[in-house]
Amino acid sequence: MTKKTILLLIPLAIAIGSVVALFLVLLHLAIQWRFQHPWLLYFLPLAGVAIYYLYQQVGKSSEKGNNLILEEIHRPAAGVPGSMAPIILFSTVITHLFGGSAGREGTAVQIGGSMAAQVGDYFKLPRQQKRLLLTCGMAAGFAAVFGTPFAGAIFAIEVLTLGRINYKALLPGVGASLIANFTVSAWGVRHTSYQIDEAVKVTYLWRNFFPSDLSLIIQIFGVAILFGLASLLFAVLTQRLKLLFQSFIRVKWLIPVLGGLMLIAFTWINGTPDYLSLGVDLEYAGAVTISTAFQAGGADSWSWLWKTIYTSTTLATGFKGGEVTPLFYIGATLGNAVATLIHAPISLFAALGFLAVFAGATKTPLASTVMGMEIFGPAYTLFFALACFTAYFFSSHMGIYNAQRRSRYSKRPGSNKPIDRFLRYNHIKLDKYRFKFSGQKKSK
């Protein structure tokens, strides 16, 4: 890493942190505005059409989102357009203003990556230095939006290639993440805090670690398998819905219209707006949020499944945002439901689900474990690691980032695991289904 790159990285991280702080403020205002005006949900289909035409006229390659940044790091090509940052910021705020179920991590990572790419192009940095700057931009964006600088740096290098980590970018990534996170705090923007019940620490961790906690470890291992399968369900459902809509609907602007109408119908069926938007802020007393999932009775038995359906529908039909915060919601509510069923410590299992579903969907178990330490403290590191790596293993090869490469040491799509065989079979069948109805011909 050259001195020039270091000098560029400091103001870049400050700029990324400032833009992410603005984004978080606008996002909070948009969500609160919808809380006060619930009728905005009925305009979600029109908002989807506006987002569609925005990307068609201005965004173009920005439509790939996080995958475009990953592709550019792996193999620089056309570059990351400067329009990506403002477009994703605006479209994410619009998605949440009208009730779309999405996250915010994708927006922050794209803001960081887009700004880093523009700096690299302007100063004509060599390919290797530009890749490093892009990675640091991703790290800064992730850290700024969640307040987890060390997890952000590790996420940026772990997400690139499944089964392999390039530690050369770790130190500059940590520096950029710390600066961006400090900048967000300096602007007075605060992140949501979560905590594990203190009573659980005394009863289950420090007193009588063996044999009482041995049974808890077995419980965690078993439930972590469910977390991995939940992350797999999310990834498969999102990708398959997107393929299905693209194959059957020829007039593409009708796809977000259908997605908006589906979310309105789901909300009407459930009789609650709990599964719209981020799922962080409390809309009314008794609403299900990530925070309430850490309490007894704070989530319904199927809250995790409904959030999966809502978010997959939102993202598959062209609305913008991220996947990570909804994954936190899915994991925390699933952990709450399972803990209630097996009489396990609810707040602990909600925290494990919070981290493990994210680990399984993004294929970043190390970053997820570190995130657990930053959010919940280091006392449960053993449990965090067990849950995250177990969920990662049982989530198969599919994740939410198509541009994520696989090293020779990673889980391969061609493995003989039952889950992978099932996915390969359905992938082939669905491809045939697409060719049959899309008017395309198979090439020999």
Q: How confident is the model at residue 213 (pLDDT cuts 50, 70, 90)?
A: low
Residue 405: per-residue pLDDT: 76
Q: Check residue 402 and give its pLDDT.
A: 82
Radius of gyration of the chain, Cα coordinates, nearest whole angstrom: 21
Nearest to 410 by CA among 418, 421, 399: 399
Task: State yes or no: pLDDT of 152 exceeds 80.
Answer: yes
| Interstrand relation of 161-162 and 405-406 (parallel, antiparallel or unpaired) | parallel
The tokens describing 246, both together, are: 């693209």
| Residue 201 in this model has a pLDDT that exceeds 90 | no
Where residue 6 falls among pLDDT bands split at 50, 70, 90?
confident
pLDDT of residue 438: 37
Choose the CATH number for 198-406 among 1.20.1050.10, 1.10.3080.10, 1.10.10.10, 3.40.50.300. 1.10.3080.10
Contact at 8 Å (CB) between 411 and 389?
no
- Reported as a single tens digit per residue, the pLDDT across 394-417 is 998 888 988 777 765 555 444 444
- The interaxial angle of helices 149-158 and 127-146, nearest 10 deg, is 140
Domains 3-186 and 198-406 share a fold: yes
Mean pLDDT lowest for which of 50-59, 286-295, 350-359, 416-425?
A: 416-425
Which is more confident, 179 or 409?
Answer: 179
Q: What is the pLDDT of residue 425?
A: 52
| Topology, domain 3-186 | Clc chloride channel (1.10.3080)
pLDDT digits (tens, 9 = 90+) for 183-198: 999 999 999 889 998 6
- Taking the C-alpha atoms of residue 419 and residue 314, their distance in angstroms, rounded to an integer, is 26
How far is 324 from 315, CA to CA, in rounded Å? 12
> Distance (Å, rounded) from C-alpha 409 to C-alpha 2?
31
What whole-number distance in Å separates Cα of residue 223 and Cα of residue 352? 9
CB-CB neighbours of 246 under 10 Å: 16
Mean per-residue pLDDT of the chain: 87
In this predicted structure, what is the pLDDT of residue 408?
57
On the question of pLDDT at 46 being above 90, the answer is yes
What is the pTM for the complete model shown?
Answer: 0.90
Q: What is the pLDDT of residue 203?
A: 54
Task: Give the pLDDT mean for 139-165.
Answer: 93
Domain boundaries along the sequence of the chain: 3-186, 198-406
Peptide bond before residue 211 is cis, with ω within 30 degrees of 0: yes
What is the rounded distance in angstroms from the CA atom of residue 400 to the CA atom of residue 239? 8
pLDDT class of 53 with cuts at 50, 70, 90: very high
pLDDT at residue 12 greater than cutoff 90:
yes
